[in-house]
Amino acid sequence: MAEYCLTTRWRVEAPLEVVWEAIYHADRWPAWWPGVEAVHELLPGDDCGIGAVHRYTWKSVLPYRLSFDIRVTRIERLVALEGVAYGELAGRGCWQFTREGGLTVVRYDWQVTTAKRWMNWLAPLARPLFRWNHDVVMRAGGRGLARLLNARLLED
């Protein structure tokens, strides 16, 4: 299996609370995040959402799709969302939210391995292309979030 440790950072001129709400409600991502084809709730989790499982289907710039499930393992309102992924990708994802002056800073750390045989086979050569593809999808998500919130996304 090929392992990837990826970090994305969005700096958005919007209140932390509205940024949190947009990201917390993953079932709404397909409406504003190009690349998110579908999000389906498989299990609702407890009253706080811990243990909820959602299936995500992503399309990318490269001609492939990925589907995987994420089980929510941590929710700290306005601070962090974390989950464990399994399926065509396996690993851990963590959203972190902070205020920086009038900005909301969103950091996403994604530590995963690929389970698709062809991706693992190509990883020694295609790793930079897979990373680039991930970055393109995440930049599109940042722009989509900014449009949704009628806010400005600042480049690092």
CATH number of 3-154: 3.30.530.20
| Residue 156 confidence class, pLDDT cut points 50, 70, 90 | low
Q: Are 124 and 99 in contact (CB under 8 A)?
A: no
- pLDDT beyond 80 at 118: no
Domains of the chain, by residue range, sit at 3-154
Across 46-127, where does the E strand assignment appear?
A: 53-59, 65-76, 80-87, 89-100, 103-114
Scanning 15-72, the segments in alpha helix (DSSP H) are 16-24, 29-32
Q: What is the per-residue pLDDT for 52? A: 97
pLDDT tens for residues 120-131? 787 788 888 989
Please give the Cα distance from 43 to 87 (Å, whole number): 16
Q: Report yes or no on whether pTM surpasses 0.85.
A: yes
pLDDT tens for residues 7-43? 999 999 999 999 999 999 999 999 999 999 999 999 9
